[in-house]
């Protein structure tokens, strides 16, 4: 697993929105719509709870497959980065700006994988790294990553998040 220290590469005088722009990352105009009776983001107790997001492209196309069989590690990492962008899009849509987040508390990542696939942390690291790049030292978070036998619509990766609201955003 790669250790990532965002403080060495990201100026702390910039905001998450400024870092996103500087990194050349574009968020989807709208986050993917929930596929059930739930919302993408629920704000409660000074935290923003982001429901599990998947690798949904701007066109609505889902990235599907079983990691370790028909999906490579590299492709799964790209899917995890896309999921991180979708998480950020959901947060921005709910709050109006990523600058209303003071820190990232936790990510939980699920990888649709074969029983012998063992690189779940590497896949979810792709999302963790992107989040840390956007939020700087406040983006380093607790995390759980594990493999599952299937995910909704056979998507490759699903990640949820817990973020802390800036005091002025509560």
Kindly give the confidence (pLDDT) of every residue in the chain, 170 residues in length, as a single tens digit, with 9 standing for 90 and above.
Answer: 444 454 444 456 799 999 999 999 999 988 888 888 999 999 999 999 999 999 999 999 999 999 999 999 999 999 999 999 999 999 999 999 999 999 999 999 999 999 999 999 999 999 999 999 999 999 999 999 999 999 999 999 999 999 999 987 66
Cα 113 to Cα 121: distance, rounded to the nearest angstrom: 12
**CATH number, domain 41-169:** 3.30.1330.40
Residue range 102-132, pLDDT digits in tens: 999 999 999 999 999 999 999 999 999 999 9
Supply the pTM of this predicted model.
0.91
Spatial CA neighbour of 51 closest among 35, 62, 67, 30: 35
pLDDT of residue 2: 42
Cα 120 to Cα 142: distance, rounded to the nearest angstrom: 15
Cα 4 to Cα 134: distance, rounded to the nearest angstrom: 13
């Amino acid at each position: 697993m790669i250790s990532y220290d965002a403080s060495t590469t990201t100026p702390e005088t910039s905001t998450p929105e400024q870092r996103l722009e500087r990194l050349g990352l574009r968020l989807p105009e709208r986050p993917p719509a929930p596929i059930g009776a739930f919302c993408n983001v629920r704000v409660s107790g000074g935290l923003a709870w982001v429901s599990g997001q998947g690798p949904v492209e701007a066109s609505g196309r889902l990235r599907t497959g079983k990691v370790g069989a028909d999906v490579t590690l590299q492709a799964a990492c790209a899917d995890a980065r896309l999921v991180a962008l979708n998480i950020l899009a959901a947060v921005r849509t709910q709050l109006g700006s990523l600058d209303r987040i003071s820190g990232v508390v936790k990510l939980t990542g699920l990888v649709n994988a074969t029983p012998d696939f063992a690189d779940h942390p590497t896949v979810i690291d792709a999302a963790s790294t992107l989040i840390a790049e956007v939020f700087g030292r406040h983006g380093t978070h607790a995390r759980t990553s594990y493999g599952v036998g299937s995910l909704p619509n056979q998507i490759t990766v699903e990640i949820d998040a817990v973020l802390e609201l800036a005091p002025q955003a509560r």
